[in-house]
Each structure stands twice: as structure tokens, then as C-alpha cells.
């Protein structure tokens, strides 16, 4: 038998696969992490100054031809693919090292690859860079989903390179074709849900500008986690630029997870835009022109927002809508600049001139110097005691009781982060009873002028009520220097507690 078998040749055919058969299909991105930064010195490419690195967490379906019915185990693989846009135009290429993966042949060939390292995207020419820039623009600004095709070219030695365990041992497969077109949710300029400004604090005021710290939150609806480095974005109100926000580390979580970003905002409107800028500040301080509501703003990018040329086209068209809350919303424990007011009994020969002391506060990290006030005082007509024991005004008089607009104004200095201080006091040892602002006047207060169209009976009732405290509405203007930055504010406040000094 041995002699008969020696040299025997048996011909057979190995069943191949049909044309277009895809061993790897149904590719879907669970998460795609992207870092954009500048190439280190000496490594810059001729096509771009931007280094793009990615890390993917994806799933797919892996199946063998029906003619090969053997159990498989895929433990690791590497990939080399070309990235393409929806028009099948090349964006760049990706080559990974060998990565551990998960494979379950019994679950329809479910395959999971969660890369443990970042890998660079290589750009072969300026066309790749231009198209990738356009893809990034669509990713940041589009609504809906965009496609990024992963495709291999066997002529360029691309494909998947898995190590497959079989009953015959370990097989190292090469150049397994890859062709998938996963859809990636775009970020829609972070419109849904909208960006929320959580906190603003004035840090410093100079002659030309104010510098503020800022904190805001946003939710990125995409599966793409991005790290974009330093960004400088312009802030617009009513179509006018108010200044620029600088975020040193613009890194966003993905998949709807909340991101908190911190940065600085330089408020620096042009001299020709000061009227609009004063409306902007007035809305922030008291909601003057918005009736207490948050004001709408737009946060916009430009070509100067980043040094990364790959990102610049996207930022030139990026416009993020948001709303800037009022002082009352942002500082609920210190919602107003004016806390209360004390009225002193006027001299008998000047009964229409009522000496007035203002209790003031400053929630910011920069001092405030009040340089002028022109306020109308509207007393409450129907005042009740609420369930919490606090006074509530159901209706204010339409006519003002008095006007506080001293012709000679003594500036009032309010230090940074001041909870309470009074502008002046009168009477014996009055400074023992109230905390005065620095340099406040002792013994002399500026006057509010009674100039009312109210009936004598109404005025008498108001004066009587003042003994126990009366709520008033104030409306007018305030001149102030925040640090060294001089400005003019429109100011309105309800519920100001006014009482006669004891």
C-alpha cells in the first residue's frame, strides 16, 4: 500500500468566494477620538502644520464564506485603510499597530475593536488636506450625520491583517479587504442642547477693556471626542463684537456627555459700538432691555481662532448660539447691586430733600466705583407678607415718589467681593450701626428729591409704611468705573427694601 500511495497526486478545487464578497462589513463607529495639534518642531509636513491623530472604537460583522465552515477566533489585528468622504474622495490614510479585539462567531460574527493608542492620519497631498478640512467643517456645523468611508486598496498593501486561531493552528491573514461607510452624527454647532454660560467674574478693568473669567457647559451630540487645543472665539451681541473668549484647552466629551469649559473673556468693544456695549452690560447687570431674561449672544470663530490650518476653514463658519444670564440668575445669593436703602428724616426747611443711604454689594473680583446715579423710585401700592415671611409687592405705583440724582455726586467705592456696605450714614455713632463702604461719608448723605404726582393721601400712607419698610421699584442709570474701565449702565430693580433710619 505504501508503494502505491507514494507519488500519488489527487487533484481537487478549493471553493473561492464570489466577486464582491466582504469578510468585514457593517462597520459602525461607537466612538472616534480626535486630537488636532501642531506638529513638533522639525516634524511639520509640507502639506499642513496640523497633526491629526485618531483612536477608534468600532464594531463590525466578520464572516467567512459558506464553503469554509470552521470555527474561528480572532484575537488581534492591524489595519491599513484610506479614509474617504461621501463622494469617495480621499481624506487621508490610517495605519494602526496590532490591537487586541473581540470576536464572537456565534453572534453573527460580531467584531469589536477598541484601539488603545492614537494613530496619525497621513495626508498625501494638498487635496487630502483640503477635503479633510471640509469634512471637519461638516462635522462641527452640520445637522444630521455625515459619512466617512473606510476603504482598503490591495495595491497599496492595505486591508485588515488579523491573527486567526483555528483547529489547524494560528493563521496570519493579510490584506483582507475593508470597505465600510459608517455614519457619524455631526455636532450642529452645539445648538441642541444649547451652550450654557454658568459663571462670569470680572477679574480686571483697564482703560480700554475688562478681563473676565468664564465657565460654560455644552453637550456634544456626536460620537467624536475632540481635542482642539487653544481656541479664541469672538462674542457678538446684536450683531456687534463685544470681545473675545480664550479657551486654552478646548476638549469636548462625546456622545451627549456634559463638558465644562473654562477660559477668559476680554470685553473690548470698539468706541463706535459703545452704545450697543452699554446695552449688553445693562442686560447682564439687571436685564434692563430684556425684562430680566437672559440675552441672546453668538460665539463665533474666525481664521484667527486657531493656528491649525486644518481647522481654520471650519472655525471661519462656526457660530454657536447661546444666552448670557443676568446677574440675578448667575449670582442668586447676590442678585442685585443695590440691596436696600435707608432714608433719614429731612431738615424741616427742606422736607422735599430726603437724605438717602444705599446699601450696595459687589459680587466681582474687581472693585467698582459708582460715579453717578439717576434713579426714579416707584413705591409699592399693594404690599403683602409672603408665606416665607418676606415682603412681596403685588403692584407698584405708576408714578414715582422721588428721584435720586444728586447734582454733586460723591463717588462710592465698593471693594471686590463685598457682600454689603452703605454709602453713608447720619446720626450719633452711626458707623457703629451700619457697615460703611470705604471712604463713605459720615454725617452727610446725598438727597433724593420728592417730586411726585401721587396724591397727598397716598404720600402720607407711603411715609407711614416706610417706618416698617416698603418695597420700591427703581429705574434709571448708573455711572461706574469697574477697575479703571468707565461705563454707563441702564439699571432697573424691583423689590428694593426701603426703610426710615432709626
pLDDT in tens, 217-235: 999 999 999 999 999 999 9
Which helix (H) or strand (E) covers residue 469, if one does?
A: none
Residue 125 has what pLDDT? 95
**Whether the predicted pLDDT of 359 surpasses 90:** yes
Which residues are registered as beta bridge partners of 36?
A: 52
485 versus 19: which is more confidently predicted? 485
Instruction: Work out the angle at residue 210's Cα, subtended by the Cα atoms of residues 207 and 214, and round it to the nearest 5 degrees.
Output: 175
Q: Of the given ranges (303-307, 333-337, 457-461), which has the lowest mean pLDDT?
A: 457-461
- With contact defined as beta carbons under 8 Å apart, do 322 and 196 qualify? yes
| Mean pLDDT value across residues 399-418 | 94
Distance CA 371, CA 478 (A): 8
CA dist 211 and 261 (Å) reads 17
Residue with cell 471626542: 225
Chain centre distance of CA 80:
37
The whole-number average pLDDT for the span 280-289 is 97
Q: Which three three-digit cell numbers place residue 472? A: 420700591
Which pLDDT score is estimated for 199? 95
Residue 464 has pLDDT above 70, yes or no: no
Q: Are 301 and 314 in contact (CB under 8 A)?
A: yes
Q: What residues pair up with 104 in beta bridges, in sequence order?
A: 110
Instruction: Among 152-156, 170-174, 339-343, 450-454, name the most confident range.
Output: 339-343
Q: What is the three-class DSSP state of 419?
A: strand
Region 466-473: mean pLDDT is 88
- Residue 368 neighbours by CB under 8 Å, 6+ apart: 337, 362, 413, 414, 480, 481, 482
In what helix (H) or strand (E) does residue 132 lie, and over which residues does it extend?
helix 126-141
Q: What integer pLDDT is reported at residue 66 of this predicted model?
A: 66
b/e code 281-308 from CB counts within 10 Å (16+ = b): bbbbbbbbebeeebbebbbbbeeebbeb
CA torsion sign, 109 to 114 to 115 to 120?
A: positive
Instruction: Grade residue 467 by pLDDT with cuts at 50, 70 and 90.
Output: confident
> Of all residues in the chain, what percent carry a pLDDT higher than 70?
92
Q: Is-contact 471 391, C-beta < 8 A?
A: yes
Collapsing DSSP to helix, strand or coil, 250 comes out as coil
Asked if residue 74 has pLDDT above 70, the reply is yes
Q: Per-residue pLDDT for 344 more than 80?
A: yes
Domains in the chain: ranges and CATH: 24-185 (no CATH), 188-327 (2.60.40), 338-500 (no CATH)
Report the distance separating Cα 228 and Cα 50, nearest Å: 11
Let me know how many helices (H) and strands (E) the chain has, helices first: 6, 33
Res. 11: pLDDT tops 80: no
Identify which has the larger pLDDT, 77 or 458: 77
pLDDT tier, 13 (very low <50, low <70, confident <90, very high otherwise): low
Instruction: Tell me what the mean pLDDT of segment 398-405 comes to.
Output: 92
Q: Name the residue with higher pLDDT: 19 or 79.
A: 79
Spatial contact of 148 and 85, defined as CB atoms under 8 Å apart: yes
pLDDT at residue 455 greater than cutoff 80: no
Looking at residue 114, what is its pLDDT? 96
Model confidence pLDDT, tens digit, residues 161-216:
999 887 777 878 899 889 999 999 999 999 988 999 999 999 999 999 999 999 99
Rounded-to-integer distance, Cα 478 and Cα 487, Å: 9
pLDDT at 40 exceeding the cut of 70: yes
**What does the pLDDT read at residue 496?**
95
- Sequence-distant (≥ 6) Cβ neighbours of residue 7 within 8 angstroms: none
Residue 64 has pLDDT above 80, yes or no: no
Q: What is the pLDDT of residue 6?
A: 74
pLDDT, residue 20, reads 66
Least confident of 297-306, 386-395, 483-492: 386-395
Q: Is the pLDDT of residue 491 over 60?
A: yes
Q: What is the pLDDT of residue 501?
A: 87
Q: Are strands 485-500 and 295-300 parallel, antiparallel or unpaired?
A: unpaired
pLDDT at residue 16 greater than cutoff 60: no
Q: What is the overall mean pLDDT for the chain?
A: 91
Confidence of residue 486 (pLDDT cuts 50, 70, 90): very high
The answer, yes or no, to whether residue 348 has pLDDT greater than 80, is no
Q: How confident is the model at residue 502 (pLDDT cuts 50, 70, 90)?
A: confident
pTM (predicted TM-score):
0.88
Query: Over 90: is that where the pLDDT of 456 sits?
Result: no
Q: Note the Cα 433 to chain centre separation in Å.
A: 44
Least confident of 107-121, 288-302, 328-342, 455-469: 455-469
Amino acid at each position: 500500500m505504501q508503494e502505491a500511495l507514494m507519488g500519488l497526486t489527487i487533484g481537487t478545487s478549493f471553493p473561492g468566494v464570489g466577486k464582491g464578497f466582504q469578510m468585514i462589513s457593517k462597520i459602525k463607529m461607537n466612538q472616534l477620538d480626535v486630537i488636532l495639534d501642531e506638529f513638533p518642531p522639525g516634524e511639520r509636513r509640507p502639506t499642513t502644520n496640523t497633526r491629526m491623530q485618531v483612536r477608534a472604537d468600532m464594531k463590525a460583522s466578520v464572516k467567512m464564506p459558506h464553503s469554509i465552515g470552521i470555527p474561528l477566533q480572532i484575537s488581534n489585528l492591524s489595519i491599513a485603510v484610506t479614509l474617504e468622504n461621501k463622494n469617495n474622495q480621499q481624506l487621508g490614510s490610517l495605519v494602526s499597530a496590532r490591537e487586541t479585539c473581540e470576536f464572537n462567531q456565534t453572534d453573527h460574527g460580531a467584531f469589536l475593536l477598541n484601539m488603545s493608542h492614537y494613530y496619525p492620519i497621513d495626508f498625501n497631498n494638498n487635496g487630502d488636506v483640503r477635503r479633510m478640512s471640509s469634512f471637519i467643517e461638516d462635522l462641527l456645523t452640520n445637522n444630521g450625520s455625515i459619512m466617512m468611508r473606510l476603504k482598503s486598496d490591495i495595491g497599496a498593501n492595505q486591508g485588515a491583517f488579523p491573527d486567526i486561531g483555528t483547529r489547524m493552528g494560528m493563521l496570519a491573514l493579510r490584506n483582507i479587504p475593508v470597505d465600510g461607510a459608517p455614519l457619524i452624527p455631526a455636532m450642529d454647532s452645539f445648538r441642541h442642547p444649547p451652550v450654557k454660560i454658568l459663571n462670569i467674574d470680572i477679574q480686571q478693568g483697564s482703560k480700554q477693556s475688562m478681563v473676565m473669567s468664564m465657565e460654560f457647559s455644552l453637550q456634544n451630540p456626536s460620537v467624536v471626542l475632540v481635542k482642539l487645543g487653544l481656541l479664541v472665539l469672538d462674542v457678538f451681541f446684536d450683531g456687534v463684537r463685544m470681545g473675545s473668549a480664550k479657551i486654552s484647552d478646548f476638549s469636548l466629551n462625546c456622545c451627549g456627555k456634559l463638558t465644562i469649559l473654562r477660559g477668559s473673556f476680554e470685553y473690548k468693544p470698539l468706541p463706535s459700538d459703545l452704545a450697543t456695549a452699554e446695552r449688553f452690560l445693562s442686560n447682564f447687570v439687571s436685564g434692563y432691555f430684556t425684562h430680566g431674561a437672559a440675552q441672546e449672544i453668538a460665539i463665533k470663530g474666525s481664521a484667527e481662532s486657531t493656528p491649525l490650518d486644518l481647522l481654520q476653514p471650519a472655525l471661519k463658519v462656526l457660530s454657536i448660539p447661546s444666552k448670557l444670564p443676568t446677574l440675578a440668575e448667575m449670582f442668586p445669593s447676590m442678585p442685585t447691586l443695590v440691596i436696600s436703602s435707608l432714608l433719614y428724616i429731612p431738615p424741616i426747611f427742606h422736607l422735599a430733600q430726603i437724605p438717602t443711604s444705599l446699601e450696595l454689594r459687589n459680587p466681582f473680583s474687581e472693585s467698582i466705583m459708582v460715579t453717578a446715579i439717576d434713579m426714579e423710585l416707584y413705591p409699592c401700592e399693594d404690599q403683602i407678607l409672603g408665606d416665607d415671611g418676606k415682603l412681596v409687592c403685588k403692584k407698584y405705583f405708576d408714578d414715582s415718589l422721588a428721584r435720586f440724582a444728586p447734582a454733586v455726586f460723591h463717588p462710592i467705592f465698593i471693594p471686590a467681593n463685598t457682600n454689603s456696605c452703605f454709602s453713608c450714614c447720619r446720626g450719633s455713632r452711626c458707623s457703629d450701626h451700619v457697615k460703611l463702604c470705604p471712604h463713605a461719608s459720615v454725617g452727610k448723605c446725598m438727597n433724593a428729591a420728592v417730586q411726585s404726582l401721587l396724591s397727598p393721601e397716598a404720600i402720607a400712607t407711603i411715609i407711614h409704611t416706610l417706618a416698617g419698610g416698603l418695597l420700591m421699584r427703581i429705574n434709571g442709570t448708573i455711572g461706574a468705573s469697574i477697575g479703571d474701565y468707565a461705563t454707563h449702565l441702564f439699571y432697573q430693580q424691583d423689590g428694593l427694601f426701603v426703610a426710615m433710619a432709626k
